[in-house]
Amino acid sequence: MKEPQEIKKSPNTSELIKDMKESFRTSFLTDWYSTLTGFLSGSKSFYVMLAIGMVVIYAGAMGAFDAIRIGYRHAYGATREVTWGILISTYVFFVVTSTGLCIVSSIGHVFGVKDFMPIAKRAVFLSIVTIMAGFTIIAFEIENPFRMAIYNVLSPGLTSNIWWMGTLYGAYMFFMIVEFIFLHLENHKLATYAGLAGLISGIVAHSNLGAIFGMLHGREYWYGPYLPVYFIASALMSGCAAIIFFTWLGYKITSEKMDRPMIRSMEVVAKLCTLMIAIVLFMIIWKIITGFAGGPGKTEVLKAMLSGPYAINFWVFEMGLGLVIPFILFLTSRWSNLNTMFLATAMMMFGIFFMRYDLIVLGQIVPQFHELGVNEYKGLLHYLPSFHEILIVLMGIAMTMTTFVLGEKVFQGHKSEIH
């Protein structure tokens, strides 16, 4: 590794640039050279993982291009009535995770809480990886992504949450990348500013993502201020789970042992994770109870979720794997057993995926004309992901996993000095 840079008392701009150039030459380039050699000397399982990841990405990309060729209407399970399917829910899954990782990293990097520092570098890296996976998936959901690039600028719809989503997440990704670069240049002051900008844009972007659904006043199950708030709480929970999950895996890949600060960090993050599970559970329970006092737009959804076709999704995946079992595992292991914590967070990652799926699909299963009592819309609507959609989802997951594995090698386990 490199020599730590001397901190200058009051650097002016030219000095700062000189400083950055210097640190780039001395640290960044040598860093890359040494990681290249490190990468080539990877273990066999490392290459196997990479190969599997590449194959899945390739299959997903083929599926995506085939969907473009035959048209999304034919390729996807989404319909006129259930317009948004698993692609949107997976996109939400990834950006929730990304925002959560950003918040968790900021506790250490921006607010200076020591116990959160060891995990922060990896969290910043993964927040970039997951947001990119999310963007990749939504690129194959939006019919004309190129028009979006043009008319988001030329004809901005400022009342639209989708416009703000594109703009704010764009800014968020930019700041996170800048933060990551400054972290590697060991310029912690600028990294902190970039981190703060990333955190603010991330939180605004993410609550706005909740508002995409929360502001649809024709959709009773979603409408209201609940979702923007829930999305932030849920993001922090997902972020905690993701960083424990990936840190444990990272240490397995490099087959290193965690040092004391890292173990301590994992413990603290797991405690925060437990608290966030409790908060999210609390929100879900109140959402259900208040929903039953409402009209069919809510009660029909809740019935489908609790005892209807989505009961397995809800009770087994969302509640069981996503929240309750990990909660119990955290409590009973007293946050000290790393393997138990990994198991708990792996379950959570799986369960949370279903949580997003249910949120998106359930909001659409009650037809718009349900209460009119017409024959066409007496029952609830159905949606099943198509083969193409599943391929694209797998591509997003494989992209995340592959980039993560690569990142562990390239950035040598995201080690960070205590600063």
Partner 1 sequence: MKKLKIDLENLKNEGLASVSPMERREFLKIGLAITGVFAGGTLFSAVSNINRVFASPEEMAEKYPYKPHYSMVLRQSRCIDCERCVEACNKTNEVPDYGYRTRILERDVPDAIGMKREFIPVLCNHCNNPPCVRACPTKATTKDKKNGIVMMHYEKCIGCKSCVLACPYDARYFNEEKHAIDKCNFCIDTRLSKGMKLTACAEACPAGVRNFGDLSDANSDVYKLVHQLERPVWVLRPEVGANPNVFYMKG
Q: Which residues bind partner 1 (CB under 8 A)?
A: 71-73, 80-81, 83-84, 141-145, 147-148, 151-152, 155-157, 159-163, 165-166, 212, 215-219, 364, 367-369, 371-377
Question: For residues 350 and 109, what is the distance between their CA atoms, to the nearest angstrom?
Answer: 28
Q: Do 409 and 39 touch, CB atoms closer than 8 A?
A: yes
Q: How far is CA 381 from the centre of its chain?
A: 28
User: Rounded to the nearest 10 degrees, what angle do helices 260-292 and 325-332 cross at?
Assistant: 140
Give the residue with the Cβ less far from partner 1, 75 or 107: 75
Closest distance of CB 250 from partner 1, Å: 35
Shortest gap between Cβ of 342 and partner 1 (angstroms)?
Answer: 37
H helical segments located in 215-336 = 226-253, 260-292, 296-306, 311-312, 325-332
Decide whether 115 or 371 has the Cβ nearer to partner 1. Answer: 371
Residue with tokens 């992901």: 385
Task: Choose between 22 and 143: whose C-beta lies nearer to partner 1.
Answer: 143
Closest distance of CB 102 from partner 1, Å: 23
161 versus 313: smaller Cβ distance to partner 1: 161
- Judged by CB, which is closer to partner 1: 195, or 214? 214
Task: Give the shortest CB-218-to-partner 1 separation in angstroms.
Answer: 3
- Residues 104-113 as b or e (16 or more Cβ within 10 Å = b): bbbbbbbeee
Name the residue nearer to partner 1 (CB basis): 74 or 334: 74
6 DSSP assignment = P
Phi, psi of 99 (to 5 degrees): -60, -40
For residue 74, what are the CA distances in angstroms to 3, 120, 381? Answer: 57, 43, 18
Closest approach of partner 1 to the CB of residue 313, in Å: 21
Nearest approach in angstroms of CB 216 to partner 1 is 5
